[in-house]
């Protein structure tokens, strides 16, 4: 069974396209190369992809138009733009049509590789967080994220605030493992700065208070990295 992530690479420079395709294949990705926007869209409709890498300046159909069409068919597909230009208007236009990242040519191929891995990991976590799973049992607690109910043994459930609810779900997805601080900040607060970080600390304290009824459950602070929900 082929578990490789499939990438659609749309690049009108044939030499550069082949070099980039081969580099990505060497790094265990399944890559389908298209030489212009029209061909790229046809291939996108024909196969399933995990990520798209699109050149901005292309004949017949530019990268922005192609990205818009792709997003209409598959809103959650991650997109990285490659461009010879770094004008602010173009960058903003790219993000407006749904780009996840932007790279200006020439670029370090290892940087592209890092960005691909980070985006695919983020996308995987997002799909888990947005998944259908809403019920969690841990130690003496039962948690229903759809109803925002946290129940301890036979007590009446406590209704959590929306942020407490999302934070607890993230911690439970990473149970006994590190939940990265930046993941929670970008997913729940949509920004990673001093103020949102302090706000998250307040909500962690609120969750600790709710969970202190059970001595087998604790939230540990991993300094500079994030938090770990420990269930013994």
Tens digits of residue pLDDT in 89-104 = 777 788 888 888 888 8
Any idea what the Cα angle at residue 115 is, between residues 114 and 116, rounded to 5°? 90
Q: Flag whether pLDDT at 68 surpasses 80.
A: yes
Q: Of 49-53, 92-96, 173-177, 225-229, where does mean pLDDT reach its minimum?
A: 92-96
Q: What is the predicted pLDDT for the residue at 174?
A: 85
Cβ contact 197:203 at 8 Å: no
Q: What is the predicted pLDDT for the residue at 125?
A: 62
Q: Which tens digit of pLDDT belongs to each residue from 70-123?
A: 999 988 899 999 987 666 777 778 888 888 888 888 888 888 998 898 888 777
Q: Of 4-18, 37-51, 170-184, 211-225, where does mean pLDDT reach its minimum?
A: 170-184
Residue 94 CB neighbours (<10 A): 22
Q: How far is CA 98 from CA 91, 94, 117, 124, 163, in A?
A: 11, 7, 18, 17, 25
- Name which of 1, 2, 6 is nearest 120 in CA terms: 6
Omega of the bond leading into 152 within 30 degrees of 0 (cis):
no
Q: Of 17-26, 153-162, 182-191, 223-232, where does mean pLDDT reach its minimum?
A: 182-191
CA distance 107 to 104: 6
> Superfamily assignment of 6-129 in CATH?
Response regulator (3.40.50.2300)
Q: Flag whether pLDDT at 25 surpasses 80.
A: yes
Q: Which tens digit of pLDDT belongs to each residue from 158-210?
A: 999 999 999 999 899 889 988 888 878 877 887 778 898 899 999 999 999 99
Tell me the mean pLDDT in the region 134-144: 95
3-state secondary structure of 117: helix
Q: What is the predicted pLDDT for the residue at 162?
A: 92
Q: Flag whether pLDDT at 3 surpasses 80.
A: no
- Average pLDDT over the chain, rounded to an integer: 89
Element (H, E) at 197: helix 194-211
- DSSP state, 186? I
- Name which of 6, 12, 4, 5 is nearest 82 in CA terms: 12
Q: Within 13 Å and on the Cβ side, how many CA atoms surround 141?
A: 24
Cβ contact 48:6 at 8 Å: yes
Q: What is the predicted pLDDT for the residue at 1?
A: 44
CA distance 49 to 193: 33
Residue 53 CB neighbours (<10 A): 26
List the CATH code of the domain at 161-231.
1.10.10.10
State the span(s) of the chain assigned CATH 1.10.10.10.
161-231
State the span(s) of the chain assigned CATH 3.40.50.2300.
6-129
pTM over 0.75: no
């Amino acid at each position: 069974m082929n578990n490789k992530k499939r990438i659609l690479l749309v690049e009108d420079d044939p030499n550069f396209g082949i070099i980039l395709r081969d580099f990505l294949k060497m790094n265990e990705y399944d890559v389908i190369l298209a030489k212009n926007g029209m061909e790229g869209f046809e291939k996108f409709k024909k196969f399933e992809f995990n990520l798209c890498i699109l050149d901005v300046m292309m004949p017949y159909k530019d990268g922005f138009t192609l990205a818009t069409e792709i997003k209409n068919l598959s809103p959650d597909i991650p997109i990285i733009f490659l461009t010879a230009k770094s004008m602010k208007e173009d960058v903003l236009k790219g993000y407006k049509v749904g780009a996840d990242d932007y790279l200006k040519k020439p670029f370090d191929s290892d940087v592209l590789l890092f960005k691909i891995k980070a985006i695919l990991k983020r996308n995987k976590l997002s799909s888990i967080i947005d998944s259908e799973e809403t019920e969690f049992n841990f130690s003496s607690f039962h948690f229903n994220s759809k109803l925002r109910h946290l129940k301890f043994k036979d007590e009446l459930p406590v209704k959590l605030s929306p942020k407490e609810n999302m934070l607890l779900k993230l911690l439970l997805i990473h149970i006994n493992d590190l939940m990265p601080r930046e993941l929670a900040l970008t997913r729940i607060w949509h920004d990673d700065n001093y103020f949102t970080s302090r706000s998250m600390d307040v909500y962690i304290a609120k969750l600790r208070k709710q969970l202190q009824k059970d001595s087998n459950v604790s939230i540990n602070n991993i300094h500079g990295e994030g938090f770990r929900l420990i269930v013994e």
